[in-house]
Amino acid sequence: MSLSHAYGHPPAHDHAVRLLNRALDLGYDLLDTAALYGFGVNEELIGEAVGHRRREFTLASKCGMQGVDGKRVIDGRPETLRRTLEDSLRRLRTDVIDLYYLHRWDKQVPIEESVGALAEMVRAGKVRAIGLSEVSADTLRRAHAIHPIAAVQNEYSPWSRNVELGVLEATRALGTALVAFSPLARGFLAGAIRSADQLVEGDIRRSMPRFQGPNLAANLALLARFETLAAEAGCAPAQLSLAWVLARGPHVVAIPGTTSQVHLDENFGAGRVAIDTDLIAAIDSLFTPEAVAGPRYPAATQAEIDTEDFAPSGGN
């Protein structure tokens, strides 16, 4: 996502191509994109940059939320999903997508109808497995009754723990992978944001309450304590955040994004970080729902998603 969409100015095309190839060289084996990212530009980038290495990675993309006339639109109607798939296959330069998510549940369309359309794509051989994004445990179970759901992609990091209200356990019980997006808290737990002034025009974090005013100041105090824990553990804060996510269960997968080769290499090293129960407990007690200041999304965006949420008095 960060190579083409929503985090301010994307990197130069040649840099992005080199970064994707470096990821595969290191051993990353899952690339996650969406029709939404850059309104198709990110899928085109992946097709051009690493399409010739297609057998080396699992390819995931998403439908149900895309750009229409320059605006983001949620549309889960079967005919729209089928059209989006054909466009994505063309841009990705492939004849099959390994994991195809419904990016958002369109609440105007029963989840069973949208998942039914995805199931048809599997039967047609154009998609190997299907997933959902930003959904609740109840919606997951409804969808799973129509067709096996291979993965649920929800935000999960020490400061965004909504999945612990139901989805973490539901995915474990159903044999579904939980794919944690923003496992570095949108760069915050890597120490990338110290001031709101760092967020340029077009960066989605400018509208997110946790990065604003008093909320940001309170969260920076949490970050300082988290950085101390990382130093004591002998690793980078980003690595500690990723190690914490991966320790939540064998079915949990993390998909950190970056535009930096240094961070790409650093993130890959998180798999070698030893994290014991005492350290996990310390992180858990630091980032309680009450301690994190501000909700994940502004109200309008929150209304679009289906994930469980903590009580308003909490930080999540």
Q: How far apart are CA 256 and CA 235, in angstroms?
A: 17
Residues 6+ apart with CB under 8 A from 227: 191, 237
- Report the first-to-last Cα separation within the chain, whole angstroms: 23
**Among this protein's residues, is 37 annotated catalytic?**
yes
Phi-psi region of 5 (alpha: psi -120 to 50; beta: other; left: phi over 0): beta
For residues 130-146, one letter each, b for 16 or more C-beta atoms within 10 angstroms of the residue's C-beta and e for the rest, the string is: bbbbbbbbebbebbbeb
Catalytic residue of the set 37, 100, 101, 156: 37
SS3 call for 247: coil
Structure tokens that stand for 44 in this block: 């085109």
Burial annotation 25-42 (CB, 10 A radius, 16+ → b, else e) = eeebeebbbbbbbbbbbb
* DSSP type of residue 203: B
**What is the rounded distance in angstroms from the CA atom of residue 130 to the CA atom of residue 151?**
7
C-beta of residue 249 within 8 angstroms of C-beta of residue 168: yes
Pairwise CA distance, residues 279 & 112, whole Å? 41
Q: Please give the positions annotated as active site.
A: 37
